[in-house]
Chains A and B, each alone.
Chain A
Amino acid sequence: EVQLLESGGDLVRPGGSLRLSCAATGFTFRNFAMAWVRQAPGKGPEWVSGISASGGSTYYIDSVKGRFTISRDNSKDTLFLEMNSLRGEDTAIYYCAKDVNRVVVAPVVGFDIWGQGTLVSVS
């Protein structure tokens, strides 16, 4: 079964850190770009970061640049998001999502597999 399973969300104080993980099963993880997308309570989705299939290219929304780091371990089919200097506005459900592309910067946007999400609360 194609599945993404996030973990690592928690309640943390402002200025604190968290590391999110996303375990992939059922598809060839190393062949696809991946992303983290968050959704604050009552709001729409917000793309946070993307990483190419190889891990060689990474991209971030401006509000998290320098605080968050996306990475992947293709030998373990796992995606990560290291989150530092957390702020109240980072409070959201964080989803990992499989890109339909191998690269992040592509003409087509499509995240065809999503995890169930993990809640990050900063307070």
Chain B
Amino acid sequence: SSELTQDPAVSVALGQTVTITCRGDSLGTFYAGWFQQKPRQAPLLVIYGKNTRPSGIPDRFSGSASGKTSSLTITGAQAEDEADYYCASRDTSGDHVLFGGGTKLTVL
């Protein structure tokens, strides 16, 4: 098994760029998926694979990876982007899915 580690909280000024990171051994082998969750809502997939946005996700969301770190970047953050963000990937065995602990994004 393995873990995915995220910073608990990040803040960004309105209209600026913010990067949320996710670290874990399995990220050297598997891609991360990124989910946005607002209060009392189900998680919403915003990025998966190398850098794929599901239909309807604004292009200000992008993903990247380097070594054992995956990153979600929001270019020109909007007030509606304030939410919890979770990364997810396989564990090192590949059989299970792990979620990171989440990053609370505040848009100032």
Contact = CB atoms under 8 A, between A and B. Distances in A.
Contact of B43 (A100, A109, A114): A114
Interface in A39-73: 44-47, 50, 59, 61
A111 interface: yes
A100 B89 CA distance: 13
A59 B97 CA distance: 10
Interface residues of B, number: 29
A11 interface: no
Contacts of B86: 44-45
Contacts of A108: 30-31, 33, 48-49
A110 interface: yes
Nearest to A113: B45
Contact of A114 (B31, B42, B102): B42
Contacts of A26: none
B42 A110 contact: no
A45 B35 CA distance: 10
A97 B42 CA distance: 10
A105 to B, nearest CB: 5
A100 B35 contact: no
Given A45-B35, A100-B48, A115-B42, A109 B88 contact: yes
